[in-house]
Amino acid sequence: MATATTAPELQRAGSFFRALADATRLRIVLLLAAGEQCVCVIHEQLDLPQSSVSRHLAVLRAAGVVSARRQGKWVYYALAAQQDAILARIARAIAGSDWAPRARKAAPCR
């Protein structure tokens, strides 16, 4: 099994774990385990202000946990493909856990 030993690899792993250390960000990751979601859907599912959700998504994106794509005026987020094999296994384990909230049917973005 490969281990992260170089300074950049350790830095990347530290950022990854710091991003997941927050309960709200972990809830976002669990929601994204079901697939790509618009920020408006994440905000509605978590019942949090959109500005708060956007701030948490920015942290997750900076850590390489999620990726984003813009379509018109909406931004869609998904779990990012992990380049590091160990971090990828951890992300898959979290995403496949029984902690994942049951998604409510969200209204389409307007």
Strands (E), 1-110: 37-38, 66-71, 74-79
Name the residue with higher pLDDT: 104 or 14.
Answer: 14
Q: Is the pLDDT of residue 92 over 80?
A: no
**CATH number of the domain within which 71 lies:** 1.10.10.10
Spatial distance between the Cα atoms of 16 and 8, rounded to a whole number of angstroms: 12
- Is residue 101 a part of any domain in this protein? no
- Is residue 19 a part of any domain in this protein? yes
Q: Is the pLDDT of residue 56 over 90?
A: yes
Give residue 55's pLDDT.
95
Tokens 């390489």 label which residue?
64
- Is residue 103 a part of any domain in this protein? no
> Considering its fold, how many domains does the chain have in total?
1
Tokens (6 digits) for 80: 């990012």
Spatial distance between the Cα atoms of 85 and 108, rounded to a whole number of angstroms: 35
Residue-number span of the structural domain to which 46 is assigned: 14-95
- Is residue 38 a part of any domain in this protein? yes
- In sequence order, the 6+-apart residues with CB closer than 8 A to the CB of 29 are 20, 60, 65, 66, 79, 91, 94, 95
- Among 6-10, 17-21, 56-60, 80-84, the range with the most confident prediction by mean pLDDT is 56-60
Give me the chain's average pLDDT, please: 81
Tokens 């979290």 label which residue?
94
Spatial distance between the Cα atoms of 57 and 23, rounded to a whole number of angstroms: 13
